[in-house]
A = this chain, B = another copy of it.
Amino acid sequence: MRNKTTVSQAISRELLKMIEHGKFPPGSKLPSEMELAAHFGVSRIPIREALSVLRAAGVITSRQGGGSYVEENAATSLLHHIRIEQDDADIIKHLFEMRKILEPEAAYLAALRRTPEQLQQMRNALKRLEIECNDEEKTGQKADIEFHSSIIQATQNPIMIQMMENLSALYERALKITLKPNLKLKQRRKAALKEHRNILSAIEMEEPELARIQSAIHLKNAEKKLSLLL
């Protein structure tokens, strides 16, 4: 089932290694595609696909007719992204630590900047959360995600939005992997709901500091529950 690595992928990694190793220092010009093709003993196609990856990652830039150049500050982020192997309980703690840092600040910003529409979105999500809370069948997880997501959106900061989106996705995936089919989350649901209401009302009242504190409290309690499950 393993994905065999293709020539273009191998070349992409190889070129990146060369760049990181200083073989092509920042600002320098790469050999032409023809030269690279000759050097690796392949056609231009795998070379171009490898270069397009490095280009998308911000490692190089290319100008038609001009050649490809190594960026001054090569952000190699694309290639070594965080992968969650099997049950790594440590990673969950690290992910949660980032949530504890980011979410209270997001609540703070949301209290400052939320539009009426975004406020309504939070109210709707909370309402659904209340309904599902009483339903033994539903987990309410989706509404929960939506509530938190609407707060993030209200920060109006695209970087925050992007970071939290990725962080949440990683967190949920990590939880799903490590926590087997699960366990009653019910006993804390009522309490969590109240915490959510507190956050929302702080945002409604446009009280950023309070929103930050309420969010921090919520996360602190969630962490307690989490530590029991690990």
Which of A50-58, A129-137, A190-198, A203-211 lies at the interface? A50-58
Given contacts A52-B52, A56-B57, A63-B3, contact A166 B101 (CB under 8 A): no
B94 touches A160 (CB 8 A): yes
Dominant SS among interface residues on chain A: helix
Given contacts A3-B61, A97-B157, A97-B160, contact A166 B79 (CB under 8 A): yes
A4 to B66 alpha-carbon distance, docked (Å): 13
Instruction: Kindly state whether residue A228 has any CB partner on chain B within 8 Å.
Output: no
Given contacts A53-B52, A102-B101, A157-B94, contact A173 B79 (CB under 8 A): no
B49 touches A94 (CB 8 A): no
A78 touches B163 (CB 8 A): yes
Chain A residues 92 to 137 lying within 8 A of chain B, measured CB to CB, are: 94-95, 97-98, 101-102, 105, 109
Contact of A76 among B75, B81, B159 (CB under 8 A): B81
How many chain A residues touch B (CB < 8 A): the figure is: 52
* Interface, chain A (partner B; CB < 8 A): 3-4, 6, 8-9, 12, 45, 48-50, 52-53, 56-58, 61, 63-64, 72-73, 75-83, 91, 94-95, 97-98, 101-102, 105, 109, 157-160, 162-163, 165-167, 169-170, 172-173, 176
